[in-house]
Structure 1
Amino acid sequence: MSTPLKNLFFQPDFFNELVAEIKKVYPAFDGDGYLSTVFDENWESLELKARMIHGARSLHDFLPENYTEALAILVPISEKFTGFDAIMFCQYVEEFGLEHFEASMRALEITTVDASAEGAIRPFIIRYPERAMQQMLDWTKHENEHVRRLASEGCRPLLPWNIRLNQFVKDPTPILPILETLKADDSLYVRKSVANNLNDLSKNHPDLVLDIAERWYGDNDHTNWIVKHALRTLLKKGNQHALSIFGFGDVDDVTVSNLTVIPDPIVIGDDLFFSFDLLLKADQTKKLRLEYAIHYVKANGKRSKKVFQISEREVTPNTSHTIKSKQSFRNMTTRKHYPGQHKIEILVNGISKAQAAFMVTE
């Protein structure tokens, strides 16, 4: 069993080092008092994010009451920390900086480099939408890739584990200039964020994202990569417009036969092996996206469909191609399996071409 994240970050070594660094620049800091406040009787029961918030809020009781004076202590030492622990500096800004927009923006511009401030900036976007989005547009020109990424990641409407930006779920227009500026960024780190932002938008504004994809695709390799990853949700849904952008057309001339599933029944914890024959009846090759969907039985007995990609390939005509793949039925933190009749479905360019039922047992 994997170690819980809360036991990997915000450990005593981090807080001891934090106290030592603060005392170097602020000798009046009561390190023992701070540590006692952090590791109180509730500490063990707190999960990861709650521990980060508690650590940041506890700092406030032992630093100068003046926010800008506290930042003058914290921001320089934040550069001595990296990774998830360092996000606590961003959290301090989120907790106590909302009334100090300019000072907080300067702080997040620095602290995001060694941590990640996409969560901390979201209350500022909600409170100061025009000022915050202008700041983020300015950051798209920053020399540091971490700051440029913040410009996109911070305004993702549906960023996991963070506050939803409902104003952008409703109207994503303010986000678009940021994404346009970053669409060919040299940094893969930044491009991933742009793709994820567009993927968020595609869940509520698919036509808008498809229009952007049509306009962007073919510009250069960087932008093409963004478009492909931005449309991943629409591609898995079999959206024909999205598929057509990448050259995946109709499949009326494609047949799938001899779908075989082994073993049946399958025991939870084992691998399911399956194969099928693919035949293209045409005069020339065709580009095909091959996927399969598992219709899982849920705890309540209902089914939930999950799509997995097999490959994308140019298929030669009038020749039978045997396709083989497998799917794990081991329980994971993100998926628990339940006994019952499941279904596997073969998808070609988003169109269902064959299906078969199989049993899952414990």
Structure 2
Amino acid sequence: MGAMNELINPRVVESLARILAKAAPECRLDHLASTAAQLDDLSLRERTDLLSHALLADLPADYTETAGVFRRSLADPDFTGWMIWPVTETASTLALASPGQYDVEDCLALLAELTPRLTAEFAIRRILAADLDRALAVIQGWTSHPDWHVRRLATEGTRAYLPWAIRVPEITRRPAATLPILYALYRDPVEDVRRSVANHLNDLARHAPDEVVATAARWMAAPDENTPKVVRHGLRTLLKKAHPGALELLGFPPVTIAVTPPRLERTVVELPGELGFDFEISNLGPAEARLAVDYAVHYRKANGTLAEKVFKLGTPVLAPGESRTFSKRHAFRQMTTRVHHPGGHALQLQVNGVRYPAEEFMVVT
């Protein structure tokens, strides 16, 4: 995370101060300049907040005036990169506090202007939280914007579980609210936009799995060459959870197969280490079997209970009577996103949503 934090560093602060001073020579920007010496030991989010608070202290309290400063700064090509994040946060703060009737709408327009320089997906969240319907009325119009960065902002900024971003409870309570954005963009010509649509759909699947599958089915009824990939990525969590509708839509119906128990290369894994395993699948049916092969690791938690995580292994097709051996090595290393605890673990196979008996093993330090 150290390198990530350094995306906002003293050099970025100095560049931002220089650019804003040119756009607003009447502003002293003393608070902003002082932040360059205060960045040590702060996370990227904390550095963003520090700079935003400084901008609020240095720039006019009137939203319209400060928005004008930021728009004039866009004339400078160096006004780009991670310095934009605190700028977008500052604009959102001022707009939400402004008595101006249309300042929120203007701020959304400003975020659309800024997002090609660095995504405004984080700053938009507080506007969504303040009045979701008001914001979505503007954002829906972005789906036909000529700049793909703005179209991506429409779908990425409104995701239920956008990484690094604050939650917008109304989006999780009303998962259908953002579906019109996805319908407008699932066939977008730009891969980054389509991938955002898929990630957005995958987020919605946590709360509205049946509605997500129905949406994906409508898309598959009128697909282009990219729709199957969007749907596969958007349904990936439901596939791991063996949702029947997702399995059927993605072409993994019930099959007649035999699956051997996973053969573990060892029963004790020392951290850090790896566990190799293999198994065999035989197609016992009269037709080819299209398979979604996954495996679940049941991790030991600090309180002694088990919590599983499903991993994809492959999507093979087996001819009638065909048997195939599969092998995999799974790493066990301490990470910021997963802390391994010693004790009993288990590994379990899942094929087309069907779970097979687990094999147990120990993890030791």
TM-score (ref. length: structure 1)? 0.93
Deviation at 1:60, TM superposition (A): 2.0
What is the alpha-carbon distance in structure 2 between the residues aligned to residue 201 and residue 337 of structure 1? Answer: 29
What letter corresponds to residue 294 of structure 2 in structure 1?
Answer: E
Deviation at 1:347, TM superposition (A): 0.8
Unaligned runs of 5+ residues in structure 1 are none
Indicate the SS of the match to 1:52: helix
Q: 1:266 aligns with which of 266, 269, 284?
A: 269
Q: Quick check: 1:248 aligned with 2:246?
A: no
The equivalent residue for 2:106 is: 103
5 Å-filtered alignment, 1:17-28, equals 17-28=15-26
Change (3 A) 1:235 1:84: farther
Change (3 A) 1:190 1:269: same
Q: 2:239 aligns with which of 225, 235, 240?
A: 235
**Number of positions where the alignment pairs a residue of Structure 1 with one of Structure 2:** 357
Deviation at 1:169, TM superposition (A): 1.5
Change (3 A) 1:27 1:248: same
Deviation at 1:217, TM superposition (A): 1.5
What is the alpha-carbon distance in structure 2 between the residues aligned to residue 213 and residue 130 of structure 1? Answer: 24
Deviation at 1:164, TM superposition (A): 2.1
Residues 301-332 of structure 1: per-residue CA shift (max 9 Å, x gap): 11110111110011122232111111011222
The equivalent residue for 1:5 is: 4
- 1:289–1:348 CA contact under 8 A, matched in 2: yes
Segments of 4+ moved more than 6 angstroms: none
Deviation at 1:223, TM superposition (A): 2.1
What letter corresponds to residue 10 of structure 1 in structure 2?
Answer: I
Change (3 A) 1:258 1:178: closer
What letter corresponds to residue 73 of structure 1 in structure 2?
Answer: V
Change (3 A) 1:289 1:173: closer
- 2:274–2:329 CA contact under 8 A, matched in 1: yes
What letter corresponds to residue 244 of structure 1 in structure 2?
Answer: E
Change (3 A) 1:278 1:354: farther
Instruction: Decide which moves more: 43-52 or 351-360.
Output: 43-52
Deviation at 1:298, TM superposition (A): 1.3
Residues 119-177 of structure 1: per-residue CA shift (max 9 Å, x gap): 21222223333331111111000011110011112222232332322222222333121
Q: Percent identity?
A: 33
What letter corresponds to residue 171 of structure 1 in structure 2?
Answer: R
Instruction: Decide which moves more: 47-56 or 167-176.
Output: 167-176
The equivalent residue for 1:151 is: 154
Indicate the SS of the match to 1:283: coil
Q: 2:13 aligns with which of 5, 15, 34?
A: 15
Q: Quick check: 1:277 aligned with 2:276?
A: no
Indicate the SS of the match to 1:113: coil
What is the alpha-carbon distance in structure 2 between the residues aligned to residue 202 and residue 45 of structure 1? Answer: 37
Instruction: Decide which moves more: 57-66 or 186-195.
Output: 57-66
Q: Quick check: 1:77 aligned with 2:73?
A: yes
Deviation at 1:4, TM superposition (A): 5.0
- 2:274–2:331 CA contact under 8 A, matched in 1: yes
Unaligned runs of 5+ residues in structure 2 are none
Indicate the SS of the match to 1:50: helix
What letter corresponds to residue 247 of structure 2 in structure 1?
Answer: L
Change (3 A) 1:76 1:223: farther
What letter corresponds to residue 245 of structure 2 in structure 1?
Answer: H
Indicate the SS of the match to 2:315: strand
TM-score (ref. length: structure 2)? 0.92
The equivalent residue for 1:223 is: 227
5 Å-filtered alignment, 1:1-362, equals 3=2, 5-6=4-5, 8-36=6-34, 38-39=35-36, 43-78=39-74, 80-98=78-96, 99=98, 100-218=103-221, 219-251=223-255, 253-257=256-260, 259-362=262-365
Instruction: Decide which moves more: 271-280 or 122-131.
Output: 122-131
Residues 212-260 of structure 1: per-residue CA shift (max 9 Å, x gap): 1111125122222221111111111111211110110113x21111521
What is the alpha-carbon distance in structure 2 between the residues aligned to residue 273 and residue 11 of structure 1? Answer: 43
